Amino acid sequence: MELCNDVMPVFLTKNSYDYFYKNIGVYVTLVDNLVYSYPLFLTILMVCERIYVLIFPFGRVFANKKLWWYCCGIATWTAIFVITPFYKGCPVIFDYYSLTYVTECEHFFTYLFNNFNWVIPISCMLLNIVIIFYVSYIRRKSQMNSDQLKRRKEEKVMISQSVATTTFLITYEITEILNSIFKTEYLALSESTQRAIYYTRDSLVGLTCFFIYFVGTPAIRKIIFDRAFFVTTGRNKFKTVSVSAMI
């Protein structure tokens, strides 16, 4: 999406970009909004899971299979939330030259997202801070065995991922608010400076995926490395050893 929105227009003439903007840009922006909105809504589930695990350490409400269903439900809701304005004749389109998302008419869902989406990361961050203080308090108050220590370590990793995700999202939203407050000063900057600010903000979304789901998640990182090894060499990284019993 970043290639279509930010890189490809550099190599297009104004007429070519106008054609792209009118005929393809709306679909690219639609997918772009889906890619950004899903992690935003997913942070709500992440925080709810952290709170539940602290209260019910051995509860099954957030078991792996159930988590898949929760994630699918959030993905479905995100798709409905983003696609509805598109089918109601109020699609959002990213304009490369003005570096803004424009729409001919503002749908109710678009209005909600544009004006109140900052509530989600800020609320999640505040809850994460409360969770961190609570975990620290419990750790000082009690002596834990090896199983409990392992559990606490897993909780610490999950909390760190949640905090990192909300930090990236909050930074993106705060800079958007600052741009709105100081709109006159922002527009007075040179085009290159405006683009540098925009690309820095825009990169936060990609960095969220990279640091949270690659750097911070060893299991996913291992899957990616193993898959890359297989694609480049044509063989699995680890040999499969078959054992047969002699009777």
CA dist., res. 10 & res. 4, Å (int): 10
Query: CB of 167 within 8 A of CB of 86?
Result: no
pLDDT at position 215 over 70: no
Domain segments of the chain: what residues? 2-233
Q: Which of 218, 237, 219 is nearest to 227 (CA)?
A: 237
Name, of 60-64, 110-114, 217-221, the range with top average pLDDT: 110-114
Q: Average pLDDT, stretch 212-223?
A: 65
Widest pairwise Cα distance in the chain: 84
E strands within 85-221? 93-95, 100-102
Half-sphere exposure of 160 (CA within 13 A, CB side): 12
Task: Please tell me the pTM assigned to this model.
Answer: 0.71
pLDDT of residue 186: 85
Q: Range with the lowest mean pLDDT among 54-68, 78-92, 106-120?
A: 54-68
Q: Classify domain 2-233 by CATH number.
A: 1.20.1070
Query: CB of 78 within 8 A of CB of 43?
Result: no
Confidence of residue 82 (pLDDT cuts 50, 70, 90): very high
pLDDT at position 246 over 70: no
With H, G, I as helix, E, B as strand and everything else as coil, classify residue 95.
strand
CA dist., res. 229 & res. 234, Å (int): 8
Residue percentage of the chain with pLDDT more than 70: 79
pLDDT at position 244 over 60: no
Give the number of other Cβ atoms within 10 Å of residue 23's Cβ.
9
Name, of 14-18, 57-61, 72-76, the range with top average pLDDT: 72-76
